[in-house]
Chain A
Amino acid sequence: MRIHSLWKKYGDHTAVAGIDLALPAGRFIGLVGPNGAGKTTTLSMVTGLLRPDAGQVEIGGHDVWRDPVAVKSRIGVLPEGLRLFERLSGGELLSYIGRLRGLPGDEVDKRAGQLLDVLDLSGARNKLVVDYSTGMRKKIGLAAALLHNPEILFLDEPFEGVDPVSAQTIRGVLERYTGSGATVIFSSHVMELVESLCDWVAVMAGGKIRADGPIGEVRGDAPSLQDAFLELVGAGSRARAGQDLDWLGGGGAR
């Protein structure tokens, strides 16, 4: 996947300020950055859900905006902040999205059943998605993104608000998926998670890529990715904040 000078502005605010990035295939790639760094905007533009002001995105040699036929069948997406068709049950949602993707009905039902089993959602397959918990929503969204066996999977904050059990399930599925040579690109601000899952990271802050490469390279001499990240986004000096709150703590309310 290649991104060339990608820009997006909302009024006066520049969300993404000219990103150039080349990501290798077959890796587990983490896109990290603080809130408001432009991760979601970037992923939306890369997956064809948001029109960039300028720049190009190529996936597998095909331009996302000029050749959507070749791109859309090869990628799977789990966006953040966008809803699912919540008035369908989990099973109906998968059956719907699989058929929209043009898969044969029997195949959709078979894959949907297996995905629901693996993701521990079989018991909730007849429950409306609107009644799902956050973790269940992420899992059914992941199932919908995997149903057509894409080559590249884009996940925006897949672990946000997810309980540890569901997170472990999602992790297991993703590791099995990348093990077969597929690419996963996911955004997160939980460094420990990125460090333990990814072999390649891109650090974003203020709408720009601050560093990218194999995880060892980006970490450099820092003791952990967390420290390297804080250094990169220039937040290290703010770590001692809170010295003025001398009244806070020590018991005795009021």
Chain B
Amino acid sequence: MSTATTRPVGTPATAPASPALMPLFVRLKLSLLKNGLRQSPGRTAAYVISLVVTLLFGAGLLLGLILLRGVAGTPALAVLLTAILTLGWAAMPLFFPTADETMDPTRLVMLPLRPRPLIGSLLVASLIGVGPVFTVVLAAGSVAAVAHGAAAVIVGIVATVLIVLVCAALARAIATANVRLLTSRRGRDLAVLSGLFVALGAQGVNLAAQKLAQSQGLTALEPAAAVLRWIPPASAVDAVDAAGRGAYGRAAFGLALTALALVLLLWWWSRTLTTVMTAPDSSTLQAIEKDSGRKRAGRAGGWERLLPDGRTGTVMRRTLLYGWRDPKTKMGWAAALGVGLILPVVTAVQGGGSVYTACWAAGLLGLQMYNQFGQDTSAFWMVASTLSTRRDAFLELGGRALAVAVIAVPYVTLVVLGSAALLDDWGAFPEVYGVALALLGALVATGAFASVRFPYSIPSDGNKNVAPGQGGIAWISMLVGVVMGGLLCLPVIGLTVGLHVAGLQGLLWLVLPVGAAYGAVVAVLGLRLTAPGVLRRLPEILVAVSKG
């Protein structure tokens, strides 16, 4: 230890004799895999199933790619697949940072290891597992689909190796850089929101896939591939294609580009690894957050002056601020707003669908009223210590409900208007709007009830939204709540159906005022009825929301 500190960073260690790192890390990775399996039979089964499914899927892809040889547009597909594969590797350490424990360099910080030998061993270790095997199969398939001729086969073998290495190095480098990011609060906040990006990205892929299915053949991929073929490691696949066509210059360039990318990635990784392993992290040094102290005007901003006085306004302000500042709450809101808009739009664009899909927005935003106290985390004690009368409890719930309504009512209005405009079905507007408002009111009422009867903790870090052991409560509260919310809407739905059946289309506008009034009354009644329960169950709620 004492000799190591005096030596400048970067010079090779001479004593103690550095152990052969590579076999050590390979063994470490294998034992981690083995121990992971040993934890429970369920995990073993899941692993075996995922292994079989992945291999079958990989084999299917390989077969399909080989069958596509010679079909027009296949090179474009191969390039695109490689690019997607790379993106997957890049995203994996961000979304599943604990998926591979050998990936976390901070675990090795206390050991006398140098970055350079570490990089080689870590890279080899990350090539063990199901994912890397799948990558090899897919890369080989992409290359096989475009390799025509002996020269192309030789280039193809090099390309496959390069693609796999670039993917692994990319994942490692990002994982290491991610460690730096995760030591700052803003980075952790972003990580929580990452799930949302996945959901929205999946929606984008879904739309793209549908577009592809509608068009004829793989040539629709050409424009995307025209760009991607210059980006490593997809350029390596293009190089194989070029070699098959005799364009050796371009083949060499494509391979060189990928090789250069590999070198640059390894260099970047080595640099971040050195920083991570030598610089103090947040556990030893208070992370300095520069941006949090930004000028928040001492006086309340414009919108805050519009809030009512007393407890209601105070609670509303806090709830709205949390919707923006707390990553978990923000994620809930963003998902509800995003999906509530996307669903009606997607169904409308795909043709068919009715204005009633706009009710999704009301449903999803109404769900924000669920588990209100769980969103407070254990800070709920501050609320609990100021609640002493039924009126306090009613105002507390009412403030939260109003905060939900302030966002939900205008948004639902916009979505219903937009859906009616998009489908050009203005006749349906009043009834759908009325039903949507009734649904919103019913969900606010049942949400308040569920918040009191079935509170559960929302862990502040990671992607989980329910603390371990409380998943059942969360599901029951959501499921029962939504069913009850639907049942509570029955009078309004009944009115709508009745008017339709009786052929009184001229009176359908009635659903709008009835639905709006019904929603408001149900919401207020629900809050009134649940308020005494809040007061009675304060300690129980606090215990339930303080886990994790």
B-binding segment of A30-38, A90-98, A188-196, A218-226: A90-98
B388 at the binding interface (Cβ < 8 Å): yes
Contact A48 to B292, CB < 8 A, known contacts A68-B388, A87-B321: no
Whether B292 lies near A128 (C-beta < 8 A) is: yes
Whether B388 lies near A127 (C-beta < 8 A) is: no
Chain A residues with Cβ below 8 Å from B379 are 82-86
Whether B326 lies near A87 (C-beta < 8 A) is: yes
Chain B residues with Cβ below 8 Å from A91 are 296, 298
Among B294, B322, B381, chain A packs the most CB atoms within 10 A around the CB of: B381
Chain A residue with Cβ nearest B314: A99
Contact A51 to B382, CB < 8 A, known contacts A73-B388, A88-B318, A131-B185: no
Contact residues, A64-90 vs B (CB, 8 A) = 68-69, 71-73, 77, 79, 81-89
B301-344 contact mask (Cβ, 8 Å, vs A): 1 or 0: 00000000111011101100110011000000000000000000
Among A47, A87, A131, A144, chain B packs the most CB atoms within 10 A around the CB of: A87
Whether A69 lies near B382 (C-beta < 8 A) is: no
Bound-complex Cα distance A127 to B287 (A): 14
Chain A residues with Cβ below 8 Å from B542 are 49-50
A50's contact among B185, B298, B389, B543, by CB below 8 Å, is which?
B543
B515-548 contact mask (Cβ, 8 Å, vs A): 1 or 0: 0000000000000000000010011101100100
Contact A126 to B295, CB < 8 A, known contacts A82-B381, A100-B382: yes
B1's contact among A86, A88, A144, A253, by CB below 8 Å, is which?
A253
Bound-complex Cα distance A212 to B295 (A): 50
A228 at the binding interface (Cβ < 8 Å): no
Number of residue pairs spanning A and B whose beta carbons lie under 8 angstroms apart = 97
Whether A82 lies near B311 (C-beta < 8 A) is: no
Whether B388 lies near A69 (C-beta < 8 A) is: yes
B contacts with A, residue count (CB < 8 A): 42
A130 at the binding interface (Cβ < 8 Å): yes
Chain A residue with Cβ nearest B322: A87
Chain A residues with Cβ below 8 Å from B313 are 99
Chain A residues with Cβ below 8 Å from B538 are 48-49
Contact residues, B263-321 vs A (CB, 8 A) = 286, 289, 292-296, 298, 309-311, 313-315, 317-318, 321
A164 at the binding interface (Cβ < 8 Å): no
Q: Least Cβ distance of A121 to chain B in Å? A: 12
A101 at the binding interface (Cβ < 8 Å): yes
Q: Least Cβ distance of A120 to chain B in Å? A: 15
A99's contact among B296, B311, B383, by CB below 8 Å, is which?
B311
Whether B296 lies near A126 (C-beta < 8 A) is: yes
Whether B381 lies near A144 (C-beta < 8 A) is: no
Chain B residues with Cβ below 8 Å from A230 are none
Chain A residues with Cβ below 8 Å from B386 are 72, 97, 100-101
Whether B293 lies near A127 (C-beta < 8 A) is: yes
B317's contact among A81, A96, A125, A253, by CB below 8 Å, is which?
A96
A102 at the binding interface (Cβ < 8 Å): yes
Whether B289 lies near A131 (C-beta < 8 A) is: yes
Whether B185 lies near A130 (C-beta < 8 A) is: yes
A198 at the binding interface (Cβ < 8 Å): no
B39 at the binding interface (Cβ < 8 Å): no
Bound-complex Cα distance A47 to B538 (A): 12
Q: Least Cβ distance of A154 to chain B in Å? A: 10
Whether B318 lies near A85 (C-beta < 8 A) is: yes
Whether A89 lies near B296 (C-beta < 8 A) is: yes
B376 at the binding interface (Cβ < 8 Å): yes
A124 at the binding interface (Cβ < 8 Å): yes
Whether A50 lies near B383 (C-beta < 8 A) is: no
Q: Least Cβ distance of B129 to chain A in Å? A: 35
Bound-complex Cα distance A254 to B483 (A): 65
Bound-complex Cα distance A72 to B317 (A): 23
A169 at the binding interface (Cβ < 8 Å): no
Chain A residue with Cβ nearest B327: A87
**Chain B: residues with CB nearer than 8 A to chain A?**
1, 185, 286, 289, 292-296, 298, 309-311, 313-315, 317-318, 321-322, 325-326, 376-379, 381-389, 535, 538-540, 542-543, 546
Extra inter-chain contacts (13) besides given A105-B309, A253-B1, CB under 8 Å: A48-B538, A51-B539, A69-B388, A71-B388, A72-B386, A72-B388, A84-B379, A97-B386, A99-B310, A102-B311, A127-B289, A131-B289, A131-B292
Q: List 6 A-B contacts (CB under 8 A).
A: A47-B385, A68-B388, A71-B388, A87-B326, A127-B292, A144-B382
Which 8 A-B residue pairings sit nearest by Cβ, starting from the closest? A87-B325, A99-B314, A51-B539, A100-B386, A69-B388, A82-B378, A127-B293, A131-B289
